Chain A
């Protein structure tokens, strides 16, 4: 497909063609050694503010600036937007859902056509989830055993089993820059021994995932910290995962209806205990306020369907909160959605016009999704006014007091210029997440 190369995929697909994947017996010591040996591109944490950090994450297909937000492109597309629009608004990495992609068009087909990057013509980074969460959230009668997740096939209703090995094999075929280990997901709102069981199972499964991972040089396997809202369980899980020296870590089992006070404590505890030089991804977090809080606590990556889903329902995210464009009051409001915003939608359209499109015409979803993602891409990255920094400093102190482990209040001035100009040296795109 010659027209793909015009997008510069040639360079990035090079590492995909010359791998000598280590045998499946991949063990932990080896993983550490490989990671150590392969890290050639030195990247730096570009700025710090108490526990918050701005950094550069080098992935096989893109050098990302963190903190970052990953829009969810469930079925190989962000609903209603072209890949060129996504690049234009500054999207660095997209999340694909393994469960959906495995059903249609199937991971085998994606593999045959050169991986998801090629298939959807997205030159930048991709992450796929393990597929386990959709089994639990979308399907009835999902049953989790030591072997894996048993669920009813949506195609013919027969029971099917997703094991950690299979999840990794599917993700290896899809070929995203970051793949996620299969974890045992439980609702944060339940209590009791099930939480403990899920945490230990997640730890047992991570070894099976590591063993099954065939492309460690091109794809970064992230482990997921489970343990509900129990600090002791979380602690065991973090320690267990850190021992395995993975390229990155996710904090899972949150954003499921727990109270915010419990939520931030878990994030604070995990970020404090995770290694400084590895990215930390808080799964399913997407409300702007939550992202600000998690970033202040030292997290780096987020994903959520919220900005695009809420757009399809007619809601715009604005600095003051949300703007419900379906509301009758919008019908004669001639102002732009956000007068301070520079995006194509805010520069051209009034709230009144968007009001007349939303939830009736496809164009309403397209324009609002564009606008909400533009907002999400801009806001965690920078342009943070001084007053917010000041406020967060205070908040940072408040938060750190509650954490058990040490935080480093180095108070290093966040240099915005540095954040935008510093480029990483990507030498050979060897597939390891390089994060310093």
Chain B
């Protein structure tokens, strides 16, 4: 794995390039959350229709395989890439996934870290975790961490790393909401020979306002030349907080939750990029960034989710059809919503003519929320490179706040 920072924004955000095997991915980037290695609803043939290489980063939790298949069988199959038939994709292992593998700090102890999963509460010891990693062979993996003495397990992780080798190691940094603890942990981990850092313990009920100071304190200590991944920051505002603090890799749990709720992202990326999306304020009944397709107003709406969107869903289906699928609880609703990257394309193409080839190859036939969020990240990268990230961020956050406020007032 190779990582290079290409550009900095005023505040400390950065755009970089992450090279893993034959795959080069620009950061800040979105890792697509998976369940047992595949996105919850996008089957592998449809997965290939999402834009590449943006959609090549997949995140999984080794704990997903705690039942049903043995590590020995996964080894025999040749690891995750072979088992899933996704040879070109980059797999990043993180024990926690924010959906079905949640940290259960109260039950963690000196022996290992505890997680709530569909197979019950699991206490995972570092050695066990390392066995998982060596049979699954991910390209990148975060070390097992528990809340309290993070570097204790760190040392144990490290000891096993030397024996197992494999992908790039991301040292986990925890410490909850205490800035001092976070700093202490970051210092300890930064001293070790790791390829990157994984910031854990976010998205666990802390307030959003705490993020900037916590994130800032951590990234200040970390070496600049290594990538930083974070778990549990999902909302667009949170992603922007993370980017501003110099985080490079994010997870996509947000998309999963949106999809389950029947929501589709609709913020017009192209517009936002230019002048925020203030003109849309009159549009009531939504917060300006997403719509709920279960709403009866879409019953007869024969337009696509987002006009001009190039994703599979918008190219092929209407809001009325998705509304019906949601009403009758058909699985296709989630498939169509999870897949969904839109109007960033025209502008991206205008700014970077080189992208044309890429978009033509990959974006023609793809689908909605995943698509859209990948687009959001692309706009963020362009903003950093163009030196306009801070304005973009403020604009975005303010407009969305206004929208939510307007919606609340009109309700």
Q: Chain A interface (Cβ within 8 Å of chain B)?
A: 1, 3, 6-7, 75-77, 79-85, 88, 100, 104-105, 109, 112-114, 119-121, 331-332, 334, 344, 347-350, 352-353, 355-357, 360-363, 365-367, 370
Contact = CB atoms under 8 A, between A and B. Distances in A.
B329 to A, nearest CB: 9
Interface stretch (B67-75, B130-138, B378-386): B67-75
A284 B318 CA distance: 31
Contacts of B84: 348-349, 353
Interface size band for B? 35 or more
B37 to A, nearest CB: 8
B21 interface: no
A362 B315 contact: no
B226 interface: no
Q: Which 10 A-B pairs have the closest CB atoms?
A: A348-B85, A356-B68, A356-B69, A105-B324, A77-B332, A332-B73, A80-B331, A75-B328, A352-B73, A344-B45
B216 interface: no
Given A75-B330, A77-B330, A365-B331, A331 B302 contact: no
28 contacts: A1-B303, A3-B315, A3-B316, A6-B315, A7-B316, A76-B321, A76-B325, A77-B325, A80-B332, A80-B335, A82-B46, A82-B336, A84-B365, A85-B43, A100-B328, A113-B302, A113-B318, A332-B72, A334-B77, A344-B45, A348-B44, A349-B83, A349-B84, A350-B77, A352-B69, A356-B67, A362-B41, A367-B43
A82 B40 contact: no
A344 B67 CA distance: 25
A347 B85 CA distance: 8
Nearest to B323: A105
A410 B238 CA distance: 74
Contacts of B328: 75, 100, 104
Contacts of B325: 75-77
B36 A361 contact: yes
A120 B316 CA distance: 9
B68 A355 contact: yes
Contacts of B320: 105, 109, 113, 119
B324 A349 contact: no
Interface in B291-321: 299-300, 302-304, 312, 314-318, 320-321
A356 B324 contact: no
A77 B329 CA distance: 11
Contacts of A357: 36, 68
Contacts of B83: 349-350, 353
A79 B331 CA distance: 6
A3 B316 CA distance: 6
Given A104-B328, A105-B299, 10 more contacts: A1-B303, A76-B330, A85-B43, A113-B318, A332-B73, A348-B85, A353-B77, A357-B68, A361-B36, A366-B43
Interface in B318-350: 318, 320-321, 323-325, 327-328, 330-332, 334-336
Interface in B349-373: 365
